[in-house]
Amino acid sequence: MLKYYWGSILFTVVCLAIGAVYGYSVGGVEGVLSVLWIIFVLSILEVSLSFDNAVVNATVLKDMDLIWRKRFLTWGIIIAVFGMRIVFPLAVVAIAGQLNPIEALRLSVTEPERYEELVTGAKVGISGFGGAFLAMVGLKFFFDADKQVHWIGFIERRLAKIATVQAVEIGIVLLALYGVSKLLSPADAYTMVVSGIFGILTYIGVEAMGSGLEASSEQVNAVHRSGFAGFMYLQVLDASFSFDGVIGAFALSNNLVIIGLGLGIGAIFVRSMTIHLVDKGTLTEFRFLEHGAFWAILALAAIMLMGAHYHIPEVFTGLIGAILIGLSWWWSVRHNKRHGTHG
């Protein structure tokens, strides 16, 4: 098992060393202890919020060729850690505050309270985009007329039956966006709907990219799960999963360095967990685990959308995903024992 995680462990040691040096420079020994504790908590937060991400990533990655799997672990890590955990918060501040990137970076270092205020102020747009994209991912899995395996049968069978209605998932997401927008002020309602529409369009764009690049594939249902298209799908998916973690991190610290180190550690471990799940064939062995992950995605999508109006603790967000995946795992084990199988 260690072979899957030694890189993550090494990365963690490096991040903690950087955190210790940074903490000492700003507060001596007390600063070191404070910074290391926050980094540790942030890393646990990221893993707990993104475990369902690892399971879903594994469902996509298992159909990708070896070259793109390796690129997911190299280029993908750079994008996940540097892009989403550092560049993304800076981009949000730059757009929200109408600043250039350099000024946004200066603000994060010299005026962290103002920086946090700008990121938090962009929460409605982030919630709309991320919630809509994740809702599309989750609903697409269940609105599948060819789906034979059902976990929560009385719901999933009905969803599969109405999958013949074209674009039904888009209609559901649009209704959800409209419903949430009615809870918001006119300005925020507009932001919610527009950002949600762009989330839907992003999902359609990634799907279209997969169809265009892999149209000759024999595995038509797995089009977006191979090659460049699959890689891009995973990056957008990871970004959507990261939104709540980045926003939630500001509850613990408004320091970009500390946030980047803590969330970066969590992101690396999620990557390692993904490869572990793929290589061990865990998704095949536990037949309902994938279902639990997609239910967790729908739960996270609902939480993100409702989070535009209500404050939902990050602890609850992490727990609901862990509970759903845990239940699906337990149900899979029970199924295997009942039928005398291992898959």
How do residues 203-238 score in pLDDT, each as one tens digit?
A: 888 777 656 554 444 444 444 445 677 787 777 777
pLDDT of residue 244: 64
CA-wise closest residue to 127 among 243, 285, 270: 243
User: What average pLDDT does range 313-334 have in this prediction?
Assistant: 82
In angstroms, the CA 136 to CA 245 distance is 20
User: What average pLDDT does range 257-286 have in this prediction?
Assistant: 82
CB 64 within 8 A of CB 76: no
pLDDT of residue 342: 54
CB 195 within 8 A of CB 204: no
pLDDT of residue 15: 93
Question: Between these two residues, 203 and 18, which has the higher pLDDT value?
Answer: 18
CA torsion sign, 77 to 80 to 86 to 90?
positive
Q: Which residues of 308-334 are buried (b: 16+ CB within 10 A; e: fewer)?
A: bbeebebeebbebbbebbebbbebbee
In angstroms, the CA 234 to CA 188 distance is 29
pLDDT of residue 119: 75
- Interhelix angle for 227-249 vs 2-61, to 10°? 110
pLDDT of residue 220: 40
Among the residues of 166-255, which ranges form H helices?
168-181, 186-213, 227-249
CB 328 within 8 A of CB 296: no
CB 209 within 8 A of CB 139: no
pLDDT above 70: percentage of residues in the chain: 88
In this structure, the number of other CB atoms found within 10 A of the CB of residue 341 comes to 10
Tokens of residue 58, six digits: 């594994």
CB within 8 A of 106, min separation 6: which ones? none
CB 53 within 8 A of CB 234: no
User: What average pLDDT does range 109-116 have in this prediction?
Assistant: 78
pLDDT of residue 210: 58
pLDDT of residue 211: 62
pLDDT of residue 197: 95
pTM for the whole structure: 0.72
CA torsion sign, 100 to 106 to 107 to 109?
positive
CB 315 within 8 A of CB 44: no
CB 297 within 8 A of CB 52: yes
Mean pLDDT of the chain: 81
Tokens of residue 102, six digits: 């350099």
